[in-house]
Amino acid sequence: MIDIARHQAGGPVRAADIAERENISAGYLERLLKQLVSEGLVRSRKGPGGGYLLKRPAESITLDQILHSSGEDLAPVPCERQDCEQECKLYHTCSAREVWAGMREAAEQYLGRHRLSELLEIPRAGGKTTNGLRPLRSTAGSH
């Protein structure tokens, strides 16, 4: 999504170009792009000069929308993402379950406060995406 937002001014962004710039598998990227298209965040154009474009402005897309549209979630443990009442004997007495739920909720709220456009402001090292992250400025006020 960041790569598309950065490069779509020149027209649709080819998946092969994204995969090369972001150093990710073309097959994985194609599956991810199809999911983002079906969820309405990205649109595709077929044929010569085709590729992918954001369906909405980067300012209107929250990071939690991207995460959920990509088919991913923030559940730190499996029972937080599915009902394991039948499988887990500790389901009703698990002390940690509320902690995991709180972690997921906090992460989702954080991502919901930030927009794709904010990520466009973070400089790239040497023109390639880096794995080094720096925190986004919180919009929740001081703690």
Q: Set out the domains of the chain in order of their start, with CATH numbers.
A: 2-119 (1.10.10.10)
Residue 64: which residues within 8 A CB-CB, separation 6 or more?
108, 111, 112
What are the CA-CA distances from residue 3 to residues 24, 25, 53, 77 (Å)? 12, 15, 10, 30
Question: pTM here?
Answer: 0.75
Predicted confidence (pLDDT) per residue in 47-104, tens digit: 898 999 999 999 999 999 999 998 887 777 777 666 676 677 777 788 887 888 888 8
Q: What is the pLDDT of residue 132?
A: 47
What are the CA-CA distances from residue 72 to residues 32, 50, 130 (Å)? 10, 27, 21
Rounded to 5 degrees, φ, ψ at 52 are: -125, 145
Residues in the chain: 143
Stronger pLDDT, 26 or 131, i.e. the higher one: 26
